[in-house]
Amino acid sequence: MDKKRILYISGSLGLGHITRDLAIAIELRRQNPNIEISWLAAHPASQFVVDSGEYLLPEAVNYGNDNDPAEKAAKGSQLNLLKYLFGAREIWARNVSIFTKVTERNHFDLVIGDETYEIAVGMQRNFRIKKAPFVMIFDFIGLDAMTGSLLEKFGIYIWNRIWSAVDYNKKYNRVLDMGLFVGEEEDVPNRSFGFLLPNRREWAKTLCQFIGYIIPFNPLDYSEKEEVRKELGYGPQPLIICSVGGTSVGKDLLNLCAKAYPIVKEHKPDLRMILVCGPRLSPESLEVPQGVEVRKYIPDLFKHFAVADLVIVLGGATSTLELSALKQPFLYFPLEGHCEQALVAERLSRHKAGVKMIFSQTSPVYLAEKILHHMGEKVEYLPIPLNGAQKAATLISQLL
């Protein structure tokens, strides 16, 4: 039997997309041994693809990197969403061009795009570039203006109008053959995209199937924390892990954690704090006092999350989801001006998980107080559905 060929395009903003995409790919192969997956992604997601033994298409070297405009649009803990959208336009145009060339040169039986909005819009504008059934993975629907700027409100309205107007449902020349939403129905705001535009939740219910959440591990495997702690080489001293994921946007947060360290250490003399920079932030760029450990990258970071006495992160969907599943105490700092992380904060509030912090209102002394209050805290979060990878693979397999 001939192999079924899949093109998987992973969104490259941070590391959350590739983490769940690899989990879906593993489950797809388990359910369909006769498939062959080729990948398009930019750094650092592309490195994860290669390190996982997957096949990265040569064209990926030129694939546009969403991290670049995001990092340029960020200042400290704040992200200028409109600046990011304008900065990403050239990158998105390049990605549509690369996608077109790749699918013209190669035959694929299926294309999966994780938050590849530029590809969906590109197909809408020129349906001829669609050569195979297309699956789109979402984890948020619609953008929101985060300031009172009229220019930002107008720009967001135009983008939401484009987003909501893509005709996914028509019988012929249909862009989207399947939509998957990573999360629950309540994760989609029950409000319109904008004036005279559709309701977001109703739009999502029409276009998507809700699959729950995706994590690449079983939380029960890490319930015996002392054993896992020994395996990872940690002693009995209090452990704090601070991580900012796959972009350099969280540099100021790591510096803030480092400034709080001496204050906490006065109360916890044997304290151990580890700052995890991620692949796009140099450890040398941080200002840390003696005693603070700085790591460029830690494989399987979730294992270290599982045994820490407290974790401090940005407001990204993946890290906060992993911590919620592991039932670990954590402080999270949503990027100010980042509407998607604002939605993540709403989800965490609904699940009663984590402690929301505001970077611009947090001094080293205040952070130290919060650390001392929540370190080692026993938490009870609401249960969440974590079989999203299996559900996604089962649904995608229907198109094969």
Taking only the tens place, the pLDDT of each residue in 193-251 is: 999 999 999 999 999 999 999 999 999 999 899 999 999 999 999 999 999 876 778 89
Residue 380 covered by a domain: no
Q: Are residues 23 and 72 in the same domain?
A: yes
CATH number of the domain bearing residue 123: 3.40.50.2000
Task: Give me 219's structure tokens.
Answer: 């939380």
**Cβ(317)–Cβ(139) below 8 Å:** yes
Residue 20 covered by a domain: yes
Q: Are residues 325 and 188 in the same domain?
A: no
What mean pLDDT, rounded, does the chain reach? 90
The domain in which residue 244 lies consists of 219-374
Q: Are residues 115 and 244 in the same domain?
A: no
Q: What is the pLDDT of residue 143?
A: 86
Residue 73 covered by a domain: yes
Residue 151 covered by a domain: yes
Average pLDDT for 351-366: 96
Residue 382 covered by a domain: no
Q: Which amino acid is at 180?
A: L
Residue 26 covered by a domain: yes
Q: Are residues 297 and 345 in the same domain?
A: yes
Task: Please provide the DSSP assignment of 11-71 as one string.
Answer: --SSSHHHHHHHHHHHHHHHH-SSEEEEEE--TTHHHHHHHTT-EE-GGGGGS--THHHHH
**Cβ(315)–Cβ(345) below 8 Å:** yes
User: What is the tally of structural domains in the chain?
Assistant: 2
Task: Place 155 in a pLDDT band, splitting at 50, 70 and 90.
Answer: confident
Checking if the pLDDT of 297 tops 90, the result is no
- CA distances to 92, 121, 157 from 153, rounded to whole Å, are 21, 21, 6
How does pLDDT run across 87-107, given as a tens digit for each residue? 778 888 999 999 999 999 999
Q: Are residues 225 and 308 in the same domain?
A: yes
Residue 381 covered by a domain: no
Task: Place 255 in a pLDDT band, splitting at 50, 70 and 90.
Answer: very high
Checking if the pLDDT of 168 tops 70, the result is no
Entry pTM: 0.90
Q: Are residues 340 and 366 in the same domain?
A: yes
Q: Are residues 313 and 202 in the same domain?
A: no
